[in-house]
Amino acid sequence: MSFLSGLRGMIGGRPQLSEKWNLPDTVQSVESLLKPDSGTQVIYKHSYNCAVCIFSKIKVEEVMEKHGEKAYFHFVDVVQNRDVSRKIATETGVGHESPQVIVLKNGSVYWHASHSAIGKDQLEEAILDV
């Protein structure tokens, strides 16, 4: 998604999400991400009310396009799915912020970042570091 598409999404409603995103919408779906044999999971918390989220979402989607076969990517709308966002914070011990990226490896937090600390290179490294 381009920068202008992101702005259009903020002004005129929500932009379409890539079909590559998984959309956990229940607290039970969060529990499956935390299983010891769950592999590499990337959870991205987003708020459509936040301008910073436009830029971080673009970075995460670039990594998803490049390394989508190495991890499962999950998009959480923190306004629509507050209970899911809270469950993630409670279960991982990573306090809620948005935008936020949490990389889980076999159910454990491996790396996380929020706001301007969300970097494409750092996210790639966290996914590829085995």
Domains belonging to the chain, first-starting first, are 17-128 (3.40.30.10)
d(CA 44, CA 73): 8
Q: CB–CB of 130/113 below 8 Å?
A: no
Opening angle at CA 16, ends 120 and 76, nearest 5: 60
d(CA 11, CA 66): 28
pLDDT in tens, 17-74: 889 999 999 999 999 999 999 999 999 999 999 999 999 999 999 999 999 999 999 9
Confidence of residue 1 (pLDDT cuts 50, 70, 90): very low
d(CA 83, CA 36): 22
pLDDT in tens, 113-128: 999 999 999 999 999 9
The tokens describing 110, both together, are 């491996």
Q: What are the angstrom distances between the C-alpha of 44 and each of 12, 62, 101, 107?
A: 22, 13, 5, 16
